[in-house]
Amino acid sequence: MLTHKLAVCGVGATALALLLAPAPADACTNFLVTRGASADGSTMITYAADSHSLYGELTYTPAAKHPPGALRKIFDWDTGKYLGTIPQVAVTFSVVGNMNEHQVAIGETTYGGRKELRDPKGGIDYGSLMYVALERARTARQAILIMTGLASRHGYYSVGESFSISDSKEVWILDLIGKGSSEKGAVWVARRVPEGYVSAHANQARIRTFPRNDPQNTIYAPDVVSFARKKGYYKGADADFSFSDTYAPASCRDLRIREARVWAFFRLIAPQHKLPLDYVRCIRGAKPMPLWIKPGRKLSPADLMAAMRDHFEGTPFDLRKGVGAGPFELPYRWRPLVWKVNGKKYLNERAIATQQTGFSFVSQSRSWLPGPIGGVLWFSVDDAASTVYVPMYAGITKISRPYAVGTGSFNKFSWNSAWWVFNWVSNFAYTRYKDIIKDIQQVQTGFETKFLADQAALEKRVLALYRRSPAKARAVLTDYSDKAGERVLARWKLLGQQLLMKYLDGNVRNAQGKVTHPPYPQHWYRRIVAEQGDHFLATGAGDVQKKPAAAATTKPTRAAPSAAKSAPGASDASLSKPGCGCASARPDRAPALPLLLLIVGLAGWARRRSHRTR
């Protein structure tokens, strides 16, 4: 298992921009949607780059021409270690984040697999495979061949990875793992998601058995089975060979923390299949999750944004439930995921949406539009549940400053950084999540609804311009995405201020601006009483317990009847008075003496005042 991941899910920055810090595995989630499963004929993939030490930013690599003999340096994305060089090609394409100008998009999740198959002498890592392929590939199929060819020629440095690879017509899933230190290269299988279907992966290899005579839809390393036989991993028939079970056998922990996210996505978009939780719960004999599934409806980018925000709501894994959610239904659990009590291991659920997301996106590729216009990276930073997906077109030539490399860093706060401002707002929301998230969602929905509504008109105008001047069209897209990013940042700063004012000190201001004090939910009060018993029991004026008779040393003096005892409800009323000491209220002490002293005191004050004013 991978234990230290820097750009856990591949930030496209230069090696010098990498932050060398440890981060956990189980860290990314991808959805894959074919043209036939989308509402408008787009192909789409999603990618959540989740790491506790990943600063979210959007990178840009311009197109370039390179001289003969040029070399490209390769740095490991996990550690920044220099791995060597590979030959550069003559022409490379422009890349915005994880999408290039030809609408090829790539995402990944790390599954690790057999530890001995990592090659510490390998010349290229998983992050470099993605970004080199984006610089060179015009199609998804071409990207797969580039990635696997590089791993074969230079040796694969990283652990096992699953990749999502799409262009404007096809969507593929690729499972790949190295061969260890004794042999250069990698073994792999890639499968095209059938039209009308969707797939997903979440840190677990998903491809099991596969056809051997369908090159249009399945390609694989020639030695993918023979290598397993040579290593002693597999002894059965070729037709029964399962890549996932052989190279990345899953534990019960893996199923619960990883495959559960695939189940959650399939449940959301294909409820008609009623997929059971048995496999995720590691019940012996349970049928594995399908590699792909037919959705119950055609999906839009908005549907995928919503799916990226899932916390298992309405399921047995609902993170809003239980003591860990606190009184305000926080759907997150702070790390570690696995913990022990009395020698037994337990784990928290790992949802699709998570607090440690560095960045995430929904890619959209459309075959009927030129690449710079048809490709859109709906990009966001921080927790997907409380972020805004901003349209960043494949044809832009500059990144909006709030999202650009260098605006901030993991170790440098900046009010100009979208990542820091979104984290500022989301971390405040975690203090009273059930209420604050509703305010966030109003602004979030407003932005995303407007972006989606404006998309058709914008692209119609830019397409007409593109036919006359591609450069001017790209300039318009760049300006649009730039201003969109700036508007989101400015509004989020204001939102953070408004939320602080509304929810200051545990209070809540109502619509009229009046400070109110809403109580904790009743279920939380009941939990407190169940845990603490009478520890917090409030005794009113008529409820003070008498001392045991054995403890009395003198005969108590008969007291005058208490006013509290003579008035129904007086005990409860006393608790609501400001400054009430509750337990110090003494019903056995007559009020006559304090009243007499008060009258005498007032009379003396009046005489003195009369004397001074004469």
CB 70 within 8 A of CB 32: no
Q: Does residue 45 surpass a pLDDT of 80?
A: yes
Residue 202 contacts residue 28 (beta carbons within 8 Å)? yes
CB 20 within 8 A of CB 411: no
State mean pLDDT over 106-112.
97
Q: Where are the domains of the chain?
A: 15-411
DSSP string, 391-409: EEETT-SS--GGGBTTS-B
pLDDT band for position 587 (50/70/90)? Answer: very low
Average pLDDT, the chain: 88
Q: Are 214 and 244 in contact (CB under 8 A)?
A: no
DSSP state of 257: I
Predicted local confidence at residue 540, as pLDDT? 65
Distance, CA of 89 to chain centre: 36
The pLDDT value recorded for residue 539 is 80
Report residue 210: phi and psi, to 5°.
-155, 150
Contact present, 120 and 80 (Cβ < 8 Å): no
For residues 453 and 601, give the distance between their C-alpha atoms in angstroms, rounded to a whole number: 75
* pLDDT tens, residue by residue, 429-468: 999 999 999 999 999 999 999 999 999 999 999 999 999 9
Strand partners, 360: 48, 380
Tell me: the pLDDT tens digits for 270-327? Answer: 999 999 999 999 999 999 999 999 999 999 999 999 999 999 999 999 999 999 999 9
The pLDDT value recorded for residue 132 is 98
Q: How far apart are CA 349 and CA 320, in angstroms?
A: 11
Encoded tokens for 533:
């018993």
CA pair distance 75, 375, nearest whole angstrom: 28
- What is the rounded CA–CA span in Å between residue 213 and residue 205? 22
Are the C-beta atoms of 189 and 222 separated by less than 8 Å? no
> CB under 8 Å to 412, separation ≥6 — which residues?
none
Taking each continuous run of H as one helix and of E as one strand, the counts in the chain are 15, 23
- Global confidence as pTM: 0.85
Does residue 35 have a pLDDT over 80? yes
Say whether the peptide bond before residue 336 is cis (omega within 30 degrees of 0). yes
The DSSP code sequence of 58-77 is B-EE--EE--TT-EEEEE-T
Orientation of helix 433-468 relative to helix 470-502, angle to 10°: 170
